Each structure stands twice: as C-alpha cells, then as structure tokens.
C-alpha cells in the first residue's frame, strides 16, 4: 500500500456514482489514499443509505447531477479538471430494467457517452475506468467462465445496455481519447456484496431487511450460480488498473474482476452461509421459476487481471459473507458505519 498511497496522494479524481453502494466504498478508499476527489451522482435512493450514514460527501467535492444532463456533466468536468475518472453511475438492476427499459438504456448508454464526451475537453485527463458488469457477455449458459474476448450481448435491457456501453467506450477510445493521451479501460465485475448496500431486489440487502424485521426471506431461483465477491475485491482492481494505465500506454482494454471459478456459488449456498454468519433468519426457497428471465449460470475468467495486473482474489466467499453480515449486524446495533468500512479496508489492505 505504500506505493498506492504515494501514487494517489494529490491526484485529482472524478468519481461518478459516489452516492451508490460501490461508489461510496470507493470514495472512502480514495479519500483515505489522499486523492482530491470530486463526486457526481443522483441523490441516494434508498433509506438508509451508505452515502448519508458514512458522511461520504465530507472531505470531497460532491454534486447531485443526472449523467444524462450533458451540459452539466461537461461543466463539472471542466471545473474538477480530473486526472483520473471512475465512471460508476448507472441504472444497476436487472429487474428494474424490465420495468423501465428506455430509462435504463438512456442512463447506461448515453450517460456513459456524456462522461466520455466531457473528457474530450479535459486536457488534464490521463486515465478513465468505465465500470460495466459481468453481464455484458452473451450468456450461453455454458459451464466455463467468460473471457474478455468473448461475444458481448444481453437478454435483459440492463445487460444489453451495459454491452452497448462497452461499444461506446471503444468508439470514444479509438476515435478521440487515445490520440488525446487518455488511457481508457472497462472493468467487468458483478454480484458484489458488502455492508452498506440497501438496494431493492438484491439478495443480501433483501435478506438483511427480512431478518431484521423478523420476516421470512423468499428466494427465487435458488440454483442460479454467480461470481460473488466482496466489494473491496473489484474496487482494489479498479485502483490497480488505474495505476497501471497511468504508467503504461499499452494497458487499455477490458478487464474481468471476480473470484476464482471454483468460488462461484449458487444463491442457496450464499443464503445458507449468510444466515449462519448473521446468526438467525428464516428462508423459503421457491420451487418454481417466477418472474422475468435471468441467467442461470455465470462466472468470469480472471487470468488477464492476474497476469497483466498481478491481481488475485484475497477473501474467499465464506470470509466475504462473514464480513458482510457482521457489518450489517454491527451497524444495526449502533456502531459507526465509517469505522466499520475503515476496519474492512484496513483488513483488506493487510491481507496477503
């Protein structure tokens, strides 16, 4: 971490989506590393939310702005003069995308275009990391993990919008930003867990809400398999990737961040481990498939990140779930969310 502390100290960083779950954790980490941070996002939607509880806006520039507002995004970028950009702002939910498909496409495709277009007028920009998802791949329901060069696609509007945003990123990189000296990469990760996520229609937040209220958690598709990982795993990948891009012009491209393939687990396995870690909770598994289409099996091949970035997962699923459920339990008992996040960040930095 000594190299990282030296690298990030004083760097001007723009982070979109800092009011969200992943963005909040990344904001806390970047401030700890000494970055001069500016955040752009919509106001937080859930109550409670990490942004408010952990005072994310303290010690940084914070703007409430819709990334679909092209002129305002350009104005903020001109004012912030970022050297490094992390674009996390998005409509991030699969089932929500079925309800509001046009809005999902607008936010995830045109919002990304607006951020990238704003960088065309930013002479200080050197690196941009655009966060997409593990769901950008055309899902064949096959039994091996997806590689960065595999075909993009998307059955649901969320997945399709993120796959399309990958093409937008590639176009801006090739047509404008590479010649300008901005090194652009996309980061593909998903099924992130950790304390402080209260989003609707996500497995562990739904579980915590049900168990804290003494209700039974109803779980759809218990046999679906996903590449679960603690939130600090991909965030450490984004930070590492930004450092490597800063130093090496040959690094732009797409990168997967996820657990080892052997760590991919079913929804049922995750809930059983979470219930044990939380110490209580009732669950009812649905026998029949209900609702909209969702992929049954998904895993990511992470050999590129391991080889080119020197990245390997630190926390296995069991530890990730233990830390996640401890965070929620401790926060519910009145412990300080900032200190809980800092405790996990320090433990992650110290992990081999």
Note the pLDDT tens digit of each residue in 165-199: 999 999 999 999 999 999 999 999 979 999 999 99
Asked if 270 and 229 touch (Cβ cutoff 8 Å), the reply is: no
Virtual CA dihedral for 127, 132, 133, 138, nearest 10 degrees? -120
In angstroms, how far is CA 62 from the centroid of its own chain? 19
Q: Which of 238-252, 280-294, 308-322 has the lowest mean pLDDT?
A: 280-294
Burial class of residue 152, CB neighbours in 10 A (0-12, 13-18, 19+): middle
- Mean pLDDT of the region 75-94: 97
pLDDT of residue 298: 87
CA distances in angstroms from 33 to 8, 12, 157, 236, 253, listed in the order given: 6, 12, 36, 12, 25
Which of the listed ranges 101-115, 130-144, 288-302 does the model predict with the highest average pLDDT? 101-115
Report d(CA 45, CA 60) in Å as an integer. Answer: 20
- Mean pLDDT of the region 73-88: 98
Q: Residue 99 contacts by C-beta under 8 Å, 6 or more apart in sequence?
A: none
pLDDT of residue 294: 67
The mean pLDDT of the chain is 94
Q: Which of 130-144, 196-210, 282-296, 335-349 has the lowest mean pLDDT?
A: 282-296
CA distances in angstroms from 229 to 83, 91, 184, 284, listed in the order given: 29, 20, 24, 24
Shortest CA distance to 47 belongs to which of 16, 15, 19? 19
pLDDT of residue 4: 67
52 φ, ψ to 5°?
Answer: -75, -45
**CB atoms closer than 10 angstroms to residue 218:** 13
DSSP assignment string, 184-233: EEEEE---EE-TT---TT-HHHHHHHHHHTTPEEEES-TT-EE--EETHH
Report d(CA 311, CA 333) in Å as an integer. Answer: 35
Q: Which residues pair with 119 in a beta bridge?
A: none
Of residues 3 and 32, more confidently modeled: 32
- Mean pLDDT of the region 23-49: 96
In angstroms, how far is CA 231 from the centroid of its own chain? 7
- pLDDT tops 80 at residue 292: no
Assign 38 a pLDDT band (cuts: 50, 70, 90).
very high
pLDDT of residue 190: 79
- pLDDT tops 50 at residue 51: yes
**CB atoms closer than 10 angstroms to residue 214:** 9
Note the pLDDT tens digit of each residue in 103-132: 999 999 999 999 999 999 999 999 999 999
36 φ, ψ to 5°?
Answer: -90, 100
Name the percent of the chain lying above pLDDT 70: 97
Percent helix, strand and coil across the chain, each to the nearest 5: 45, 15, 40
Note the pLDDT tens digit of each residue in 210-258: 999 999 999 988 999 989 999 999 999 999 999 999 999 889 999 999 9
Of residues 189 and 287, more confidently modeled: 189
Q: Which residues pair with 184 in a beta bridge?
A: 128
Report d(CA 264, CA 282) in Å as an integer. Answer: 23
Assign 2 a pLDDT band (cuts: 50, 70, 90).
very low
CA distances in angstroms from 78 to 16, 36, 242, listed in the order given: 15, 15, 21
| 3-state secondary structure string across 6-34 | HHHCCCEEEEECCCCHHHHHHHHHHHHCC
């Amino acid at each position: 971490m000594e190299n990282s502390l030296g690298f990030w100290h004083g760097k001007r960083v723009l982070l979109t989506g800092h009011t969200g779950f992943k963005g909040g954790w990344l904001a806390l980490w970047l401030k700890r590393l000494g970055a001069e941070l500016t955040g752009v996002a919509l106001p937080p939607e859930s109550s409670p939310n990490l942004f408010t509880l952990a005072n994310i806006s303290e010690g940084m520039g914070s703007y409430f702005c819709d990334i679909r507002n092209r002129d305002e995004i350009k104005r903020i970028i001109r004012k912030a003069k970022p050297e490094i950009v992390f674009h996390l702002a998005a409509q991030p939910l699969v089932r929500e995308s079925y309800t509001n498909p046009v809005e999902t496409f607008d936010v995830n495709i045109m919002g990304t275009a607006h951020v990238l277009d704003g960088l065309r007028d930013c002479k200080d920009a050197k690196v941009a990391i655009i966060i997409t998802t593990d769901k950008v791949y055309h899902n064949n329901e096959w039994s091996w993990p997806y590689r960065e060069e595999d075909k993009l696609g998307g059955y649901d509007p969320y997945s399709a919008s993120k796959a399309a945003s990958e093409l937008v990123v590639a176009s801006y990189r090739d047509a404008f930003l590479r010649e300008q000296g901005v090194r652009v990469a996309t980061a593909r990760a998903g099924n992130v867990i950790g304390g402080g996520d209260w989003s609707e229609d996500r497995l562990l937040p739904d579980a915590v809400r049900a168990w804290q209220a003494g209700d039974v958690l109803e779980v759809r598709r218990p046999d679906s398999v996903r590449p679960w990982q603690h939130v600090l795993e991909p965030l450490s990948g984004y930070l590492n990737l930004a450092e490597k891009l800063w130093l090496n012009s040959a690094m732009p491209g797409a990168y997967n961040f996820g657990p080892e393939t052997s760590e991919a687990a079913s929804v049922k396995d995750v809930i059983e481990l979470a219930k044990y870690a939380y110490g209580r909770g009732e669950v009812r598994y649905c026998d029949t498939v209900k609702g909209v289409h969702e992929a049954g099996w998904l895993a990511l091949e992470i050999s590129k990140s391991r080889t080119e970035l020197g990245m390997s997962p630190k926390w296995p699923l069991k530890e990730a779930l233990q830390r996640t459920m401890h965070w929620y339990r401790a926060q519910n008992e009145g412990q300080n969310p900032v200190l809980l996040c800092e405790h996990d960040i320090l433990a992650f930095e110290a992990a081999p």
